[in-house]
Structure 1
């Protein structure tokens, strides 16, 4: 059996694209976050899906976007929609993020799909891919909980705010804000500490 690194989303790619296309849920938060980044700054959209609506909003904000997703079908849909945006088909927790550093990283609807160890790995890797002062925005329920994903039926799990803050801190990131959108999705916004001198 082939290992499905897309956490079940390859099999439901069409349904996912249909659900996200035209969605405006969370866009106000994405736009506000995008405005906090340097003008024309670089952002990596982790778990980009087809690019709607997050990548589209980041591009509209004048940012330079790179993207990745583990589902070949979703990456193909992304390429059709955004042919000029670089995108890689690979699992987020194994990505080298194009071997570059970014002003920002965003992961909407992804973190809780991963096993606990992969969530920890991803946060550490994102920290390494951010420039000093870079910002990371991701969604996960604030409470510790587990549930079955609506589209895939697979188990999802949130480590909870206290644990996410601890993992962020260990990775050199500090929580600067939390947000809740109109769909009651919870966002953690963190910033990478500046490099210490001396």
Structure 2
């Protein structure tokens, strides 16, 4: 997942059709896409607005984890440019190398976020922009619970996903075969709230990636506070 920002298969175009669950690993998908992912999603006004809102809520010099940091643009670049201490994690070596070049003021790690552990309360905020979709539903639940513990009390979580009710179905994302899982909007909001976050804001939009295979897809943004 990478997020021009983000790691495992994010943002599948449209609602994927049911299939046999055959797809490439997230690292292979985003190694292949590289900077094309950033170009396809650079026009997301909703993503930019979400970052603006987060920056309003963060105290100066906050420590922020960017899950699925992709090429580092726009998330890590915006946060680091505002003086925050950003740690980006992405499963794709190609994406991680691009991010390190494009955002030299942030720290980037090429790793699977599912295998990392963090100190309780280590971060002032965590960003998860479209980085869950190549994980199973159980993996998404488990990861969100661990991320909740990594955020200090009163800290922030911003999470965005494609809110469709699917589990381990095949899809084609920017020409790459992937397997995706997600939740409907209400179920996903309830899932996030159940991990210990108060969902304070919710924003839904349709977005069409700037790519020959791009099709309108629903995007859900949640802004949350650690209880």
User: Which of 177, 180, 185 matches 1:153?
Assistant: 177
- In structure 2, relative to structure 1, the CA distance for the partners of 1:16 and 1:141 (3 Å cut) is closer
Query: 8 Å contact 1:93–1:125 — kept in the other structure?
Result: no
| 1:175 positional shift | 1.2
| Alignment match, 2:141 | 120
Query: Relative to structure 1, is the Cα distance of residues 121 and 6 closer, same or farther in structure 2, using a 3 angstrom cutoff?
Result: farther
Task: Tell me if the contact between 2:76 and 2:106 (Cα under 8 Å) persists in the aligned partners.
Answer: no
1:50-76, Cα deviation, whole Å (9 max, x unpaired): 101111111233322111100011101
In the alignment, which of 97, 100, 106 is matched to residue 85 of structure 1? 106
Preserved contact between residue 88 and residue 109 of structure 2 (Cα < 8 Å): yes
Local SS of the residue matching 2:31? coil
Q: Which of 157-166 and 41-50 deviates more? A: 157-166
1:165 pairs with 2:186: no
In structure 1, C-alpha distance between the alignment counterparts of 2:144 and 2:153, rounded to whole Å: 15
**Which of 186, 189, 195 is residue 223 of structure 2 equivalent to?**
189
1:129 corresponds to which of 150, 161, 179: 150
TM-score of the superposed pair, with normalisation by structure 2:
0.73
The alpha carbon displacement at 1:34 in A equals 1.8
Describe the superposition over 1:132-165 as per-residue Cα deviations: whole angstroms up to 9, x where unpaired.
Answer: 0111111113442467252223132321233323
Give unpaired runs (5+ residues) of structure 1. 194-198
In the superposition, relative to structure 1, how do residues 9 and 63 fare at CA in structure 2: closer, same or farther (>3 Å)? Answer: same
Larger displacement relative to structure 2 (11-20 or 84-93): 11-20
Q: Extract unaligned runs of 5+ from structure 2.
A: 1-23, 208-217
Question: TM-score, with normalisation over the residues of structure 1?
Answer: 0.83
8 A contact 2:152–2:226 mirrored in 1: yes
For 1:59, the equivalent position in structure 2 comes to 80
Query: Aligned-residue CA RMSD in angstroms?
Result: 2.5
Paired residues, number = 190
